[in-house]
Structure 1
């Protein structure tokens, strides 16, 4: 199944991830995480398939995250509340976010990409 890649063109980590996918000749459909972010329902499915803690889906180094003061909120909010927050703005989502419908990676770590997408 072809990958869906949610990224942001001005993100250095996204550029590294795309280069890796391109170098491996792995096909993907690209979606701008800012203009076409995953819906709340999609985020919930991605989170459940990822096996990660939901807080790992937050772009904690992002300006928007700091502006909204989410550092403490993320520690105490319910999963539903966190999903609602994530769905409000693609800039809150850690990127790149990649899925093939069954597996999900958040961010870019070359060894994780080797294991998951190669």
Structure 2
């Protein structure tokens, strides 16, 4: 599964790499078809650093929230991310077991191994 946004440079580089390697993938536009709360939970389970790994805390959208995420329940936080997928780092690439956030060529090479 490849969660992407077309104008994102890292997303375009990742997509080009996947095509170059002949890897089949299902592409999901992060803003038109955001991950469900259940999918977000599965994504978080694959992370090494939990939400820090997928949450774009430096994004303008996150700064506009003016919310202390430490005070939110997991359910509230996942619902918020589902409603506002711009809070996610991108791209997000997963085979259902491993997760890659951002353009990371060495991790993508490992995914093939």
TM-score class, shorter: 0.7 to 0.9
Aligned-CA RMSD value? 1.8
Shift of 1:117: 3.9
Q: How does 1:49-64 map to 2 (within 5 A)?
A: 49-64=46-61
Any gaps of 5 or more consecutive residues in structure 2? none
Shift of 1:51: 3.2
Number of matched pairs? 113
Q: How does 1:1-118 map to 2 (within 5 A)?
A: 4-70=1-67, 73-118=68-113
Separation in 2, partners of 1:96, 1:59: 11
Any gaps of 5 or more consecutive residues in structure 1? none
- The TM-score, its normalising length taken from structure 2, stands at 0.85
Shift of 1:65: 1.3
